[in-house]
Chains A and B, each alone.
Chain A
Amino acid sequence: MAVSVRIPAPLRKLTGGLGDVTVDAGNVATLVDKLEAAYPGLKARLCDDSGQIRPFVNIYVNDEDIRFLKGPDTPVNDGDSVSIVPAIAGG
């Protein structure tokens, strides 16, 4: 399933500056692994050591928080849009 993933600015140094990448995945967990394969280091920024999404990072499938869907098991389909939104504390 070709899914478009929106990379937040703070993580773009890991994607060579790309803000939008396309990944083949069937659910969010696989999508994160595919991102890691393509852009090493990304997973560690999104997930803790046990693989859980970090509490200050949100992942949205079509603007819906996966926490209210099926978490990492949330399915993604062709044409879906995934956004990664981290907390920002600067001021």
Chain B
Amino acid sequence: MDFTEDQIQRYSRHIILPEVGGLGQIKIRQASCFIVGAGGLGAPAAMYLAAAGIGKLGIIDDDNVDLSNLQRQVIHHTRDVGTHKAESAKAKINAMNPDVEVVIHRDRLKAHNARELVAGYDYILDGTDNFATKFLINDLSVFTGIPMVHGGILRFSGQAMVVIPGQSACYRCVFHEAPPEGIVPTCQEAGVLGVLAGVIGTIQATEVLKMVLGIGTVLKNRLLTYQALESEFREVRVKKNPKCPVCGDHPTITELVDGEDRACAL
């Protein structure tokens, strides 16, 4: 697994970090991450993981680029409007770092295809914009044992946490279930400061790299929240819940299920 001269130069600022080094850079090259959604969170996460030299990125999105996406989904350009997001993302990543293998799926992550799609990946990164898929990704992580990095943004707020199945609280330990229809505004109604996607998406990518490298303290059993207007990061402790419906002692959810696609936040 030798690096070429160009690769040594490309990753030199990593390699000179004692916590990364040549061996760490090899770990990054051997790692893979499946990103659900090539949108606000998925765009910066994919770009930084690609720039870092991750070996393989899986990207799933069934949507086309819309002009209203460009305020935050920085992987897509004006000329991409109307094209498939997954393809648009792949083109940018290939141009940025040809070392990265990019596998795209023009599809939605659903209960019936989820296990097959993430098979073989080391990490799952939640870049989705709806509760149904966020809970599906959580359950998928618990069932497959693949660590997952959650992220969410709305208006001027964001949050992130890491789920390490069997070791840490899962998303359902913290938030049992998706809100019922009609309780919460949709993303389109609520709005989001575009740069929030960059703040939270890059935190998610950072957590993936920390896990790949085995350095630092991963954001597990902690829910990090960011309030942009106050420039305030806070965290609350979260715990593995013995009564959790998916990872608790007596789970009631034992199979992946599709929820209703709705809503953004409280």
Contact = CB atoms under 8 A, between A and B. Distances in A.
Q: Among A11, A64, A87, A91, which residue has the most Cβ atoms of chain B within 10 A?
A: A91
A88 B39 contact: no
Main secondary structure of the interface of A (DSSP, over half): mixed
B151 A91 contact: yes
A89 B37 contact: no
Interface stretch (B11-19, B91-99, B113-121, B127-135): B127-135
B153 A88 contact: yes
A58 B264 contact: no
A36 interface: no
Interface in B164-178: 174-178
Contact of B187 (A9, A10, A58, A90): A90
A91 B197 contact: yes
Contacts of A70: none
Given A10-B266, A56-B175, A87-B266, A19 B40 contact: no
Contacts of A85: 159, 223, 225, 236
Query: Which of A19, A67, A88 has the most CB atoms of chain B within a 10 A radius of its CB?
Result: A88
A26 interface: no
Interface residues of B, number: 48
A88 B178 contact: no
Given A9-B229, A85-B223, A91 B128 contact: yes
Interface in A38-69: 45, 54-58, 60, 63-65, 67-68
A10 B155 contact: yes
Given A55-B176, A57-B266, A91-B152, A10 B39 contact: no
B21 interface: no
Given A9-B156, A55-B175, A89 B129 contact: yes
A91 B236 contact: no
A54 to B, nearest CB: 7
Contact of B39 (A9, A56, A89, A91): A91
A88 B265 contact: yes
Nearest to B230: A19
Contact of A89 (B131, B156, B230): B131
Given A56-B179, A58-B174, A88 B157 contact: yes
Nearest to B222: A63
A88 B158 contact: yes
Q: Lowest 3 CB-CB distances: which A-B pairs, in order? A: A88-B152, A55-B176, A86-B266
Interface of A: 6, 8-11, 19, 45, 54-58, 60, 63-65, 67-68, 83, 85-91
6 contacts: A9-B157, A19-B227, A63-B237, A87-B134, A90-B190, A91-B37
